[in-house]
Structure 1
Amino acid sequence: MTDSTLEIRMQVMWNRLISVVEEQAMTLLRTAFSTSVREAGDLSAGVFDPQGRMLAQAVTGTPGHVNTMAEAVLHFIEEIGRDAMYPGDTYVTNDPWKGTGHLHDITMVSPSFLGDRLVGFFACTAHVVDVGGRGFGADGKSVYEEGIQIPIMKFAERGKVNETLIALLRANVREPNQVVGDFYSLAACNDVGHRRLIDMMSEIGLTSLDDLGAFIFARTASATLDRIRALPQGAWDNVLDTDGYDEPVRLAARVRIAGDSVNVDFDGSSPVSRWGINVPIIYTKAYASYALKCVIAPDIPNNWASLAAFTISSPENILNAPFPAPVSVRHVIGHLVPDLVLGALAKALPGRVLAEGAAALWNIHMSVRPAAGKTGRRAEILMFNSGGMGARPGLDGLSATAFPSGVMTMPIEATEQTGPVIIWRKELRPDSGGAGEYRGGLGQIIEIEADTDHEFDFSAMFDRVNHPALGRDGGRPGAAGSVALDDGTRLRPKGWQHVPEGRRLVLQLPGGGGFGDPARRSPEAHANDLSKGYVTEKPE
């Protein structure tokens, strides 16, 4: 076989491998019980070699899941042990420090055997609606309060499901049918990946993925190193102040580019919080690496070899919180890590990095119940919402877009179907994008009310209320967010709070920062903004 023929053959097999993990992810999307999975795509799926190195990931998925999963599989291999792995096995955990950073994410790993030979692993992750405890929120004082903890263990052995684990889950969560249903969906996701992989290997005549893995890793590593070597050498610092829980939090980063590697160190960040906004280092690594790849190697496949070029370090602090720190809403601070890292990269690569955006999702968990003396339905409802993305060099920011998480907008019809709530308003928020030569993306205005004879408590997990997204290169900040009732009562951006019967919760989501001097914005672009209602007046 000539070198060119081998190259073509490997490329065809690589494309087949991508199709395998895409079908794996689609299985989870189509069978999931939770709206956050099937509607918003809060999941990940991937295939790994026998050593636990990520070969390929599905396009559908969030960096916080994909990049933590890349490390989590190694923990599964160590904990379970190769001698205790059998065909038909599936392993599970929600350990925040060995999984994805908080208890609400369930990670499942399944070994893939060709005959009696281990040829790889499939892994997937999804956010479930409830894990017991205090519920999805920042009010816990330790991880013990935040829900049931599942150490790395077998969900199924040789195809037989662990019924004791299922019984424990049902006894500890508020929505047992949804949660247990999602566990089976995750297991099915890996099973489909395994079957498609074995079909592919049998069709092509492969007995292992070793040669294909070597091909993928060699080319990915070479391409990534070429990009890094073309960067300026040195170190650049950035700080980002954010709302925190009851006091502001400072995040600090130093990006150092030296030779063939890029390191990000988070020394100088605020200490571990007593509230559940802390971030395990595995999640910090995931989003720091994602930010680096967005600028340095956005078009290079995300796998073990490309991630290996980026190293992350931090002393113990809010971005490297140790067990048993509360970490339930680690995504709020974690989603700000890319803006923090990109701010340092902007000093190394001026004119090439987008402005800050809303960053953290404005997720809301609602616990709906009949009002006092009334009868009706109870429900736990999770709704994902996004503010505006920062303006980009040469382009306006995207409105109501989840950057960096990449999750999709949840249709209000899907949210209303899950429980007795009404979404009265969900529209773009005028004037929320920061002015600039390129305007920041707009946030949203959302109004939510419990149905007749109902009330609800909600967990606020919001940021950019007191610290709006900053512009870049002369661009203006985006509008800050706000949380209130429809009678004007101001509410806190974090923590469990109450919305009485007949009142509406009004969320005004933050906008992204602008890029470049607003005076340089073209008259055509401003006229378009006015005609579409994105802005109501010319910026000063």
Structure 2
Amino acid sequence: MTSAPQFDPITFQVLWSRAINIADEMATTLVQTAFSTVVRDNHDFAVGIYDAKGDLIAQANQSTPGQLYCMQRVMKDLLETCPSHTLAKGDVLIANDPWLGSGHTPDIFIATPTFRGDDLVGFGVTCAHHTDIGGRLAAPDAREVYEEGIIIPITKLYDKGQPNELLFQLIERNVRIPHRILGDLRAQMAANHFGGQRLVEFLDESGLDQLSDLTDAVAAQTEQNMRSQIAALPDGVFENEIELEEEDPAGKRLVICSRLEVRGDEIFIDYAGTSLQVPLPINSVLNMTTAYSTFAIKCALTPHSPNNKGTSAPIHVSAPEGSILNPTFPAAVMHRTAIVFYCVQAIFQQLAAVKPDRVMAPCGTYPLWVERFAGKDHEGNPYVVAFNAQGGQGARFDQDGVATTVFPANVSSTSIELLEAEAPLLCDRKQLITDSGGPGRQRGGLGQEVVLRNLAKDDALLSLSGGRFHIAAPGMDGGGQGTLGIIRLDGGSPEPRRRQALLGQDGTALFAYPGGGGYGPPYERDPAMVLDDVRKGYVSRERAETDYGLVLSNDGTAVDTQATIRKRAS
């Protein structure tokens, strides 16, 4: 157990709340100065304040868990590569190596040391997903990481206030839309700089000499909370195996094997038996595997505690080297959510045996759907845009699944209006899909259908992603599965999996996003809730009758209560 200096409760809460506020202000700065929709509108980023030892003290509320959990590892590696005595005012450090960071090249980490006088007191750190990082556009069928863009080891982007012009030129010459990529990098630096100013003000006003005492106090409390929640679980071993729709080169479907052991106040998660890494861009580096495994435990046991080193201290994650959950360089990793999100499903299914009211049924948002379009607009200027829309979340013990909202990543959907403003694309249709949520006592979240049309005279290069084309999100505790995902180009047959395609002038791309799994037996759902779903178009009358055992009046506006009771009992 981590020991820490003592603060009285009021002082502790005031100091920690101030630190969180600084991180939130950094996130606001990043959003307001970013150039791309991915950062500005999808909020695909993480923001944190770190002490001089590289330990997280506070995160912005709008931070994606994968990037945030990996940021701690980045900071430790950064201080090994660039020890504190080698850092100076005006330094800015950069890295996007997937094996050091959050698992793929578009996520670029920027860390800015903060000095108070001559003393290093902390770091402002941001990680942002960049629309383009070179290589093949989103590399949907890459075999090696070399196809997925430039890799930047930990290095200085600024040295004592002087820009590393060669590195800036290298980035500029390797990306399709350099003004947006460099603009987002500068937005990250602006956020870090702002956070550094606020951090010095915070230390001056609070009377603290440095941040480590507060960092240790927050981490100690977090660790104590996590250990107490784990200790309340019965000791035992819970095993799970999930078959994925992805295949190895021999055509055999990949599997994630998970063994979760509760031992006292610690949890051990081992992925032994998981499939070997594959020549596809779906492998998840151990950083990301650990991040989402830890996040799943936190969601179930301590959802309201902060994220820091105390969160992960009692949680131990291992995966065989050379597997899809711990691949060796130079494995392709661009679309690692096609694999790693299922770690959350595996752990929730294991914890359902002891904490059924704290977990979620599998989601239609495993994996993350992000489609990328690239081409030339009406004036002949190049564009690259990412379209982020999602299916339905799984239902919970006492709540329906949330429609069209991603989990476990914490990103927002792309605004249709902004998409149409930044690219020659037109949205023909965007609507919820009736009956897409898995039936259950609590219904799974609905998916949606989106149709986009290319208005430009030139072809648009479309990089397809997505998933759950063959294996739907299953239900939990008797709940039913959600619907499958579908992609159709120009009204043709469903696309089998990720690939690149050309969309001609007036060509259309249809995306039907999967629904989430239901929770609990459908016949236990309140008939009034089913009727409300029918009225809203979430559930059809036919499925209300077959899946939920409802008997409706002839006009479908009321429930025949007695007939429904008899039907459900038969």
| AA partner of residue 191 (structure 2) | C
Q: CA RMSD in A?
A: 1.7
Q: Does 1:7 align with 2:9?
A: yes
Read off the aligned partner of 1:39 and give its amino acid letter.
D
Tell me the distance in 1 between the aligned counterparts of 2:439 and 2:413: 25
Q: Which residue of 2 aligns with 1:448?
A: 452
Q: For 1:365, give the aligned amino acid.
A: R
Q: Is the 8 A contact 1:368 1:450 kept in 2?
A: no
Structure 2: distance between partners of 1:44 and 1:375: 35
Alignment partner for residue 442 of structure 2, among 438, 442, 445? Answer: 438
> What CA deviation, in whole Å up to 9, does each residue of 1:213-272 have, x standing for no partner?
232122222121111110111110112222226753211211111112112111121110
| Cα shift at 1:351 | 4.8
Give TM-score, length-normalised by structure 1.
0.96
Task: List gaps (5 residues or longer) in structure 2.
Answer: 548-570
Q: Is the 8 A contact 1:138 1:277 kept in 2?
A: no
Residues 1:356 and 2:362 are matched in the alignment? yes
Question: Residues 452 and 208 (structure 1 numbering): CA distance in 2 closer, same or farther, change over 3 Å?
Answer: closer
Shift of 1:500: 2.5
Q: Structure 1 residues 520 and 140 mapped into 2: Cα distance closer, same or farther (>3 Å)?
A: same
Match of 2:41 in 1: 39
Query: What displacement does 1:67 show?
Result: 0.6
Asked whether 1:340 is paired with 2:346, we answer: yes
The one-letter code matched in structure 1 to 2:370 is N
Contact 2:469 2:496 in 1 (8 A): no
CA contact (8 A) 1:351 1:473 kept: no
Structure 1 segments unaligned to the other structure (5+ residues): none
Q: Which residue of 2 aligns with 1:267?
A: 272
Residue 255 (structure 1) aligned to one of 250, 260, 279: 260
Deviation at 1:123, TM superposition (A): 1.2
Does residue 417 of structure 2 align to residue 410 of structure 1? no
- What CA deviation, in whole Å up to 9, does each residue of 1:391-415 have, x standing for no partner? 1001100000111002111111111
1:278 and 2:283 correspond: yes
Q: Does 1:473 align with 2:480?
A: no
8 A contact 2:90–2:159 mirrored in 1: yes
Deviation of 1:12 after TM superposition, in Å, equals: 0.7
Separation in 2, partners of 1:232, 1:455: 58
CA distance in structure 2 between the partners assigned to 1:14 and 1:468 by the alignment: 42
Bigger Rg over Cα: 2
1:232 aligns with 2:234: yes
Q: Tell me how far apart the structure 2 counterparts of residues 50 and 214 of structure 1 sit (CA, whole Å).
A: 12
The question of 1:325 aligning with 2:327 is answered no
Q: CA deviation at 1:490?
A: 2.3
- SS in structure 2 of the partner of residue 435 of structure 1: coil
Look up the SS of the partner of 2:109 in the other structure. strand
Paired with 2:135 and 2:295, the residues of 1 have a C-alpha distance of 31
Moved more, 472-481 or 348-357: 348-357
Q: Distance in 1 between the 2:426 and 2:432 partners?
A: 18
Name the CA distance, whole Å, in 1 between partners of 2:382 and 2:529: 48
Alignment counterpart, residue 132 of structure 1, candidates 108, 117, 134: 134
In 2, the alpha carbon distance for the partners of 1:336 and 1:407 equals: 17
Amino acid at match of 1:290: F
Pairing 1:133-282 to 2, within 5 Å after superposition: 133-244=135-246, 247=251, 248-282=253-287
Partner residue of 2:320? 315
With 334-343 and 101-110 compared, the bigger mean Cα shift is at 334-343
Note the alpha carbon deviations across 1:319-344, whole angstroms, 9 max, x for none: 11111111111122222221122112
Are the aligned partners of 1:128 and 1:182 in contact in 2 as well (CA < 8 Å)? Answer: yes
Counterpart residue number, 2:527: 523
Amino acid corresponding to residue 402 of structure 1 in structure 2: V
- Partner letter of residue 291 of structure 2? A
Which digits, 9 at most, give the CA deviation of each residue in 1:340-396, with x for residues without a partner?
2211222343454221011222110112347xxx97443111111111000100110
Are 1:301 and 2:306 matched, yes or no?
Answer: yes
The answer to whether the Cα contact below 8 Å between 2:6 and 2:217 also exists between their aligned partners in 1 is no
The corresponding residue for 2:516 is 512
- Counterpart position of 1:87: 89
Counterpart secondary structure, 1:111: strand
User: C-alpha distance in 1, partners of 2:273/2:212?
Assistant: 42
Are the aligned partners of 1:253 and 1:266 in contact in 2 as well (CA < 8 Å)?
Answer: yes
Q: Could you tell me which amino acid in structure 1 is paired with residue 218 of structure 2?
A: I
Within 5 Å, give how 1:360-379 maps onto structure 2.
360-369=367-376, 376-379=380-383
Distance 1:452 1:127 in 2: 27
Q: Is the 8 A contact 1:253 1:340 kept in 2?
A: yes
Change (3 A) 1:350 1:5: closer
CA contact (8 A) 2:374 2:385 kept: yes
Q: Does the alignment pair 1:498 with 2:505?
A: no
Aligned residue number for residue 393 of structure 1: 397
Residue-pair matches, total: 535
Contact kept? 1:130, 1:174, Cα under 8 Å: yes
Report the 3-state secondary structure (helix = DSSP H, G, I; strand = E; otherwise coil) of the residue aligned with 2:499. strand
- Tell me if structure 2 keeps the 8 A contact 1:436–1:517: yes
